[in-house]
Structure formats: structure tokens, C-alpha cells
Structure 1
Amino acid sequence: MARLLLFNKPFGVLSQFTDRGSPTERATLSDFIAVKGVYPAGRLDRDSEGLLLLTDDGRLQARIAEPRFKLPKTYLVQVEGDPDDAALAPLRTGVRLKDGMTLPAEAKRIDAPELWPRVPPIRVRKSVPDCWLSITIREGRNRQVRRMTAAVGLPTLRLVRWSVGDWTLEGIAPGEFREVAV
């Protein structure tokens, strides 16, 4: 039977078990997960937080990580700016990035979610408003959500992946994981 771990990756942690060749010691998955034989199904940038799935099943890993399966991934995104519905429209129709057009995303403003404090905290500028968005994508380009929000004039301050498919972070503290049945 396949194993699947739902891990709440803290800010600053690499989405891999080792950091070979780095002159500095950076936190990796091995600092949090002592389960043998599991590997990340996809990646989450070092400066992003939230749900990272790990499995010991290659087919499940491919189904989760491969863009061709278009598994929805929902992010809670704190951005600089105060966008109205029209400002979010380009995210919903697709944004042109250097590597081509993105697929349309689901994007909406949300109330500030009740999340754990980020360490270190985000930078706050009193003269620049910020707000929270929920953005769901069905592809997985490198730093895609950050690049999409920047392309529409809403730089990302904090990015938390909340769900992948039906799996969510609900009830999982940063640095903790839960094993679920597959």
C-alpha cells in the first residue's frame, strides 16, 4: 500500500532531503521527516510555505506532480496592492510570462486567513496596502504564482500552498506532517 504524507513546509526549508554542495547549512526535509523511502511529489520554493506531499509510490508521485494531470493547487497569497475584480481578471484568463501563457487560474480576494506567524515576518510598508488572494492553478511552472501576481502588478509578500487536489493543510502545524490513506 502506498504511503502519502501531508507536510506543512515552513518558510526557508528546501523541498529536498539533502543540500549537497551548499556552503551554508540550509534546512531540508530531513530536518522534519524521518520516514524512509518517501520523496516529494512536486516542489515548493524555499521562500514559500505550506502543503508538500511526499509518497513512496512512483505512479502516485507522477499523478500529483505531472502538469498533464492538471491537479488543482490552491494558494493563499498575500500581495502588495488593493486589487478590484477587474485587476484580477488577467489571472482568470491567463497571464503572459517569459515561458508563455499560463492557463486560466481561479483568483479571488479573501479575508486574511488565520495562519501561523511567518518567521521571519514579511516586510510591511505603511504606505502600500496589501491584501490576500486565493489562487488555484492547474499547472506547475517554476515560481508560477509569484510570477503571475507580479505580471499583473501585485507583488507577492507571502505564499502558502493550502491544498493539492483534495488534500489540505487543515490541522497540520508548520514543520509537522500527517500520513493519510491513499
Structure 2
Amino acid sequence: MTLLLFNKPYGVLSQFTDRGSPTTRATLSDYVDQPGVYPAGRLDRDSEGLLLLTDDGRLQARIADPKFKLPKTYLVQVEGEPDEAALARLRTGVTLNDGATRPAEVERIDDPGLWPRDPPIRVRASIPDCWLSLTIREGRNRQVRRMTAAVGFPTLRLVRWRIGDWTLGDLAPGKWQIG
């Protein structure tokens, strides 16, 4: 069994090919040269961070399938400064257009000092921002972004830091290692 931990950069698709796009977009094949591995789950093109790749179908299913409730932790930079009431709503679950989310674990954190993003996030001098650590146990499409927006604090930057026991650690963007 092979398991790779990959730090997916912003703008990279979570797949090895880009079919149907009139322009060429970066894919996993631009970074990962290990044959026979496939992503266990997805990470949106405009999100960064930990993506696991494996050649083991059962492990891939256990990581990706929401029925296993594997915790996924994200470092989330949001526009504004959420108060305790907004954090409490995330902790109890919020209602999205596709139904209520499961409760999340969330806390405000200091700036984690991550690598610079290319392109940089939009910064507005009149609106502060802050960082959250947010852990969910489901994986709906763009769920974290929709959750923070639902409580009034749009996501500016989203970095998946942990999946279960696997963590990004000091793995640089665009790099991978055997897990």
C-alpha cells in the first residue's frame, strides 16, 4: 500500500487530468510522479493544503466517504472577526441550502504564519480579518466556505491542515511525501 501526503497549492485541480477546459489548468500530474495513486477525496481548486493519495481502494473509501466521519481540520482566514455567537452557531451546525451541517469544532487562532498564497488574498483596509481552526466530519461541496458565509464571515483563504491522524506539518506547497 502506498499513501502520499501532498500539499496542494492554490489553483491546482485535485485530479490528474483536466478534461473539457478550454485553457490548461494545473493538475496533480504537474506535481506527483508516483504511478498508481489516486486522490482520497477532493480539495477545491481555490483551496490549499493536505490532499491524501493512495493506491489502496479501501483506504481511499475510508478517507473520502462521509459515513466514516473522519475529522478534517482547516485553517480558515475569514473576513471580519467572528464573535462568540457566530462561533457557537458553527459549533451547533448551520443550515445550508442542502440541509443542516453536523456540529463543527471551531476556535479563533493566531495567524498561523503560512506560506504566501499566489495570488494573494483580497485585503480591504477597512475590514479586519482573522483565522479560525475548524474541524468537520462530513464533506459537502465547498462546505467550510458556505458555513463561514452562513454566519456572516466569508472565507478569504482555506487551508486543509489535517485529515484524521495525518497532518500537513512542514510540507511545502507543491511537495509530497510518503505517509
Which bracket does the TM-score occupy, shorter chain normalised?
over 0.9
Show the counterpart of 1:132: 131
CA distance in 1, matches of 2:100, 2:19: 34
Q: What TM-score comes out, normalization by structure 1 length?
A: 0.97
* 1:107-152: CA deviation from partner (whole Å, max 9, x where unpaired): 1100000200000000000000100000000000000000000000
5+ residue gaps, structure 1, are none
Q: Which letter maps to 2:126? A: S
Partner SS, residue 172 of structure 1 = coil
CA distance in 2, matches of 1:92, 1:171: 28
CA distance in 2, matches of 1:167, 1:175: 17
Q: CA deviation at 1:177?
A: 0.3
Q: Which letter maps to 2:110? A: D
Q: Percent identity?
A: 79
Across the two proteins, how many residue pairs are aligned to each other? 179
Partner SS, residue 178 of structure 1 = strand
Show the counterpart of 2:47: 48
Partner SS, residue 147 of structure 1 = helix
CA distance in 2, matches of 1:87, 1:23: 40
The equivalences for 1:1-182 within 5 A come to: 2-180=1-179
CA distance in 2, matches of 1:123, 1:178: 31
Q: Which letter maps to 1:55? A: T
Q: What TM-score comes out, normalization by structure 2 length?
A: 0.99
Aligned-pair Cα RMSD in Å: 0.5
Segments of 4+ moved more than 4 angstroms = none
* 1:17-48: CA deviation from partner (whole Å, max 9, x where unpaired): 00012100000000000110000000000000
CA distance in 2, matches of 1:20, 1:102: 32
Partner SS, residue 118 of structure 2 = coil
